[in-house]
Amino acid sequence: MGRVLLEKRPVFMSVSFKGKRVILATGFKTDINGWDPEFQRVSPANPDASGLNNWLETLEEIAKRTMTALQDSGKDLDAENFRTLFRKLKPEYSNGFFKVFYKFMDEGLTRWSKATYRKVRSIYKLLREFDDQSTFGSSFEKMDKQFLHSFIQFCKQRSYKDSTTYKAVSILIWFLNWATDNGFNVYREYKQFYKLMEPLQETSRQMLSLKWLELMGIRDHAIESRMMERARDLFCFMCFTGLRYSELQLLKKEDLTATEVVVRRQGGRPRRVPLNTFGKEIYHTYENKYYRNNTAFPSISLVTMNKYLRELGKRVGLNREVTLSREGDQRVPLYSCLTAGIAVNTFIVNAIELQIPAEFIAEFTGVRNDSRVRKIKGDLAKTEIQKFDQR
């Protein structure tokens, strides 16, 4: 008999209304000795109690939403309709916020750059520390205004800069969007996080980009080295399309046509970027060449690419001085800090000068939070007003 009590049994949820009763599976099992019948929850002695009980609370919330939705819709409040709608609203089973976060990192391991993975992993560890040291805890249903305030205070206690905290919250929002898109989360209060945070103070650091003539100088420069030529072509393609380096490296042959680029992302709709004449020229150069894993372009490491870009910039004469705040507002020649990362900014700058609406720029680049677009527009506006001084 004791053996039977120790066997794990499935946990069901019972919902009663109008004399009817619906039995719903919760998706997990527990042993009888690990169940608290008084509170109808997993006993705290179970090491997974927190995650499992959070899941039960989530199901209770979904049951309430299902009931309200049926009442408001005018449909018959019967067992079949309740069960059907409940299944549509119920998220995927997960016995813990951090297990889903780990799944997020695991899926990103093959798609992100090493630097991106390290950043996400550091935020995972930070949230773990916050969860251990605070009484608040981390779960999907707790991602609200109170959580954000507590997390920001936690970061301040660790002497984090406002910009560092902002980046940590941005990665958290990225994860929560992924969890929502993949059916692990149904709570949406986190979408207010950006509005609830104080805006970052502007710094003197320039958002580096190339002017049109500088970009054309790189594109038209004669090159003998094949590797440098590839670095130039890939960089220019990003400048003409608004793609990031990580997105470019994942493009397959079928993702490019003579008219557009299709940027695919896990758990989300693909982003379609129309090809302009300059992008088409580069596309045709590599259209009939084939590379490992059927990629659209040759593979080149970011370190190698940046090395060739700086050398190319020096040859072309990109000596315009720019400001780097991390160096104490030091003025340096543009070529010395030329990287693949400024390609998106270059696309945005030239798109703004062509008076392409900000919403289209955001759609092409995938920059949903258009603060970067606003910042660049502000910098351009300052330059434009200075034209009065030349009269």
Task: Report the distance separating Cα 285 and Cα 278, nearest Å.
Answer: 11
Residue 269, SS3 per DSSP? coil
* pLDDT for the residue numbered 7: 65
Residue 43: both structure tokens together: 């006993």
Task: Report the distance separating Cα 386 and Cα 380, nearest Å.
Answer: 10
Is the Cβ–Cβ distance between 289 and 305 less than 8 Å?
A: no
* pLDDT for the residue numbered 202: 46
Is the Cβ–Cβ distance between 246 and 340 less than 8 Å?
A: no
pLDDT tens, residue by residue, 52-107:
776 677 777 778 878 887 777 777 777 788 878 777 766 655 557 888 888 888 88
Residue 198: both structure tokens together: 């104080």
Question: Which residues, including other chains, have CB under 8 Å from residue 167's CB and lie 6 or more apart?
Answer: 119
Number of helices (H), then strands (E), belonging to the chain: the values are 16, 8
Angstrom distances, CA of residue 73 to CA of 70, 77, 79, 122, 188: 5, 10, 15, 45, 22
What tens-digit pLDDT sequence spans the chain (391 residues)? 344 445 677 788 788 877 777 887 777 777 777 777 777 887 777 766 766 776 677 777 778 878 887 777 777 777 788 878 777 766 655 557 888 888 888 888 777 877 888 889 899 889 988 888 877 667 887 888 888 999 999 999 888 888 888 889 989 999 998 888 777 787 788 888 888 887 655 444 457 889 999 999 999 998 889 999 999 999 999 999 999 898 898 899 999 988 889 988 765 678 888 899 999 999 999 988 888 888 999 988 888 999 999 999 999 999 998 876 544 457 889 999 899 989 998 998 888 888 887 777 877 887 655 555 555 555 554 554 344 344 4
pLDDT tens, residue by residue, 315-334:
999 999 887 654 445 788 99
Task: Report the distance separating Cα 373 and Cα 345, nearest Å.
Answer: 9
Question: Which residues, including other chains, have CB under 8 Å from residue 182's CB and lie 6 or more apart?
Answer: 92, 267
* pLDDT for the residue numbered 180: 82
Global confidence as pTM: 0.48
* pLDDT for the residue numbered 220: 93
For residue 21, the surrounding DSSP H or E stretch is strand 20-31
Of 68, 70, 69, 39, nearest in space to 56 by CA: 39
Q: Quick one: CA torsion of 145, 148, 150, 154, rounded to 10 degrees?
A: -170
Task: Report the distance separating Cα 77 and Cα 88, nearest Å.
Answer: 16
